[in-house]
Structure formats: structure tokens, C-alpha cells
Amino acid sequence: MSGFFSPFITKPVSVSQIMLHVLFALIPGIALYVWFYGPAILVSITLASITALGIEALMLKIQHKPVAPYLKDNSALLTAWLLALSIPTLAPWWLVVVGTAFAISISKHLYGGLGNNPFNPAMVGYAVLIISFPAYMTHWLAPQGVGGVSMSFSDQLGYMFQGLLPDGLTLDAVTMATPLDTLKTQLHQHSQIEHILNMPIYGHLAGKGGEWVAGGFLLGGFYLFAKRLISWHLPVAFLGSLFLIAGIFHLFDPAHYAAPLLHLFSGAAMLGAFFILTDPVTSPTTPRGKLIFAAGAALLTYLIRVFGGFPDGIAFATLLMNITVPLLDAWTQPKVFGKKEKRS
């Protein structure tokens, strides 16, 4: 018997499956990531996953919660993957471990575990790392074919685990500032946008390589939408608002403000729209709440990217908007059956 009370049947769907679908949806983006930047990201993801599961088990055990059912829900894995994708490819192993451990233990379990954390754990991990170890957080590998030097996989592993670079190589030679960062610094040096975009790191829409990875995440987003794992509200409102805000600035002064598509396909915009903002635990539950939340996140992202000091704005925009979630939920309660405005 499924219990003493109805309903006696349930739909065969579990949190574990949902999370698995989301992980699956990340694969196109990760595959393109590997294609352009080499397999180091897979090492980061693996490392983050092992750390996340270990810390999750430990935290559950300390709190005397059932370890197996919660460990199997795949939520820790998702946090690990998202964090690994957010930090630079060439990150030393401990950076990944510290970030993941903080995300799982402090920002998830100390707030009560799955379902109770007010802040997106992966973004908290990212914020901690970028504030504590800013230098390490800039070591983004240049995509294949950009810059003179490229690192082999073993070279990448050597750096990640032993901090060693091959003879004759410096970090500056193999890493680069992100396209968004480059844009900002170049603009500060009074370059014109069209000149900046002619630099080799830029591709068709945004950063070379990065734009494809973003496309991969967009594809994954469509999968989530097709599987009805996310509603349209968050991604559409986020990308739409970002497009609109960037578009207004661009129209107003195209020489100093990049085109909206560059913003959509740069940094973590696509990852954020489909995989980070859509974390159900830390986003509003009502349709209108979702729209406001996503629009706010887009505005903050744009402001941080263009006028702020950090290379990308997704993480802080997400965290800041996370604060507003209880308020948005309370404010945007939909009208219930039979109690709507009279329709004539």
C-alpha cells in the first residue's frame, strides 16, 4: 500500500531524475567547452563532484539525516558542475575544492539542506572564490587557435595539481582576460568598440569559443524547456531584459556600448538564464515573481558587467536577487479559482 490516505498513486518522477535531466542538459555546453579549451574542465568537474558528494555525505551524517536518499538526489552534483563551469579552466585543484566545499557545507547545509537554502550554492561558492582569491579567478585559458601557445592536457594537469608550468611558459602566455573583461578595460583606454571587436579573441557574436559554449547551454536550455523541467518565465525574462537593456545602451551610444547579442553570448549569460537562475529553491515560485526576478537579475548583470569591477555579473546579480525572493513571492500571489477580477 502506498499509505493509508489518498492519493494512492503518484507520478513516477523524482528529484533525482529532474536533477539528472539538468545535468544531461549541460552536456552540449560542456562538450563544446572541451572542444575549444581542452579537457581540463572535465578534471575540474570531476574534482568538484567528488568534493560535493563527500561534503554532502559528511554534512548529512553530522545532522543525523538519512544519507543515501539525499545523496542520490543529484543536487550536490549539479551544484558542483555549475561551480566548476563558472570558475576558470586553469584553476588549481584546491580552488575547486574550497569553492565546492563552501557551497555545499555553508551555503546549503547550514541553512537546512536541500530546499532551504536562500542563496544559490554554486554562486555563493563562486562569490567566495572571487573575493578571496581574485588572481586565480582570472586564469581563463585562451581558446584553441587564439594566442600563440597552447597547453597540452598533461601540462594543464601539471598546473592544476602541482602548480607547475612547462619550461618557458608563463601564465600570461596561456591565459587571457575574458572577452567581457577585455571589452571593459579596452573601453577604459578609450578604444572604440569596433576596433576592440576586431581583436582575435572575438568571434561572430561574442568571444571566440565562448559564444559556442553559450550556444551549447542554450541548446541544453531548449531541452529543459521541451522536457518541461523549467518554465519559460525565467530564461525569457532574463535574456529578453538583458537584450533590451543592452539594446537601449547600444542604440544610445554604439561606440561605447556593445551590441545586445554580445551580452547574451558572453560570460555566463546563457548558463545563468537556463541553469542558475532557474534553480527552483532560490528563485520565486509565482509566474509574475519569476518575471520580476529575472528582469532584476538582467539589470544587475548588465550594470555589474558594464559599470562594475567584476568580469561578469551573473553571480552577484543572482545572489542579490535571491534576497528578494520571499518578498516577490508574497507580493505576486496569483488570484485563485473563482476569485479573479470579473471578466465581462
Partner 1 sequence: MKTLYQFHGGIHPPTNKTQSTQTPIRLAQLPVKLVIPLHQHVGNCAKPVVEAGDYVLKGQLIGRPDGHLSSAIHASTSGTIAAIDMQPVAHASGMADLCVTLIPDGLDKWIELAPCDDWQSLPHTELRHILRNAGVVGLGGAVFPSDMKLYAHKHKIKTLVLNGAECEPFITCDDLLMRERACEILLGIEMMRTLLYAEEVLIGIEDNKPEAIAAMQAAVTAGGYARMEVIAVPTIYPGGGAKQLIRVLTGIEVAAGVRSTNLGVQCFNVGTAYSVWRAIRYGEPLISRVVTVTGNVAHPQNFDALIGTPMDELVAQADQLPGTTGYIMGGPMMGVLMPSMQVGMIKATNCIIASSDQLFPAAKPALSCIRCTRCADVCPAELQPQELYWFAKAKNLDKAEDYHLFDCIECGACSYVCPSNIPLVQYYRFAKSEIWAQEAGKKAADAARERHEYRESRIEREKREKAEKLAAKEKAAQDARAQRAALAAVPETGTMPVAAENPVQQKIQAAIEHAKLQAAAAKPKNTEQLTPHQLAEIADIEARRARVRELAKDNTEE
Shortest distance, CB of residue 208 to partner 1, whole angstroms? 37
Shortest distance, CB of residue 51 to partner 1, whole angstroms? 22
Verify binding: residue 3, partner 1, rule CB under 8 A.
yes
* 263 Cβ contact list (under 8 Å, min separation 6): 206, 242, 243, 246, 269, 302, 305
Instruction: Tell which residue, 178, 175, 184, has the closest CA to residue 202.
Output: 178
Verify binding: residue 75, partner 1, rule CB under 8 A.
yes
> Which residues sit opposite 207 in a β-bridge?
202
Q: Distance (Å, rounded) from C-alpha 323 to C-alpha 339? A: 30
Verify binding: residue 226, partner 1, rule CB under 8 A.
no
Verify binding: residue 17, partner 1, rule CB under 8 A.
yes
Verify binding: residue 2, partner 1, rule CB under 8 A.
yes
Q: Which is nearer to partner 1, 14 or 105 (CB)?
A: 14
DSSP 180-228: HHHHHHHHHTT--HHHHTTSTTB-SSSBTTHHHHHHHHHHHHHHHHHTT
Find the angle CA(23)-CA(26)-CA(28) to the nearest 5 degrees: 135
Among 219, 236, 281, 299, binds partner 1 (CB under 8 A): 281
Q: Distance (Å, rounded) from C-alpha 342 to C-alpha 315? A: 42
Shortest distance, CB of residue 13 to partner 1, whole angstroms? 5
Q: Distance (Å, rounded) from C-alpha 118 to C-alpha 108? A: 8
Binding string, 95-124, against partner 1, x = CB under 8 A?
Answer: ------------------xxxx--------
Query: Grid coordinates in use for 177?
Result: 582576460
Shortest distance, CB of residue 304 to partner 1, whole angstroms? 26
Verify binding: residue 155, partner 1, rule CB under 8 A.
no
Stretch in the footprint of partner 1 (CB under 8 A) among 70-78, 85-93, 215-223, 238-246: 70-78
The answer to whether the peptide bond before residue 7 is cis (omega within 30 degrees of 0) is yes
Shortest distance, CB of residue 225 to partner 1, whole angstroms? 14
Verify binding: residue 333, partner 1, rule CB under 8 A.
yes
Q: Which residues bind partner 1 (CB under 8 A)?
A: 1-11, 13-15, 17-18, 66, 69-70, 73, 75, 113-116, 280-281, 283, 285-286, 329, 333-340
